[in-house]
Amino acid sequence: RGNFGDYSGTIVMDPAKAENSSVEFVIKATSVNTANEKRDGHLRSPDFFDVEKNPEITFKSTKVTGGAGGAYQVTGNLTMRGVTKEITLPVTFLGETKDPWGNVKAGFETATRINRKEYGINWNAALDQGGFMLADDVDIQINLEVGPTKPAAAK
């Protein structure tokens, strides 16, 4: 298991009309962290994310549908390692609340599976007992707590 520690994004949510909603995010591929520096270095190499040539993983929605019970289907373009594919994320809006300091926070979660080879991540190693070290499919789980963007100060 691993995660990415450097990311940003924008969620525009219209609960009354899901089609007016949108999602964009950018992940810095160099921020991959599996708690093993040697493995993380290999993941940053051309065998995997090739961060020198492809420093970011991005997603930009093209369509949002649903909304009943907080369940949305967010379709968009995922770009990783220079390859863009359309995917649909089943997103659940978990609700909104105020934190102890009075700031509004909203929660979202999604989980999906992608085939790493579709994004040009083909490295693998045969195991002595048969089979391969890595599966082609990768499970992705995203849990977000977000707050509203503060308007820029007037100049």
The DSSP secondary-structure symbol of 41 reads: H
CA nearest 32: which of 22, 19, 18, 47? 47
Looking at residue 58, what is its pLDDT?
98
Looking at residue 82, what is its pLDDT?
96
Looking at residue 151, what is its pLDDT?
58
**Alpha-carbon distance values, 131 to 48, 62, 124, 125, 127 (Å):** 20, 38, 10, 9, 6
pLDDT in tens, 113-129: 999 999 999 999 999 99
Q: What global pTM score does this model have?
A: 0.89
Instruction: Flag residues of the chain having pLDDT under 70.
Output: 150-155
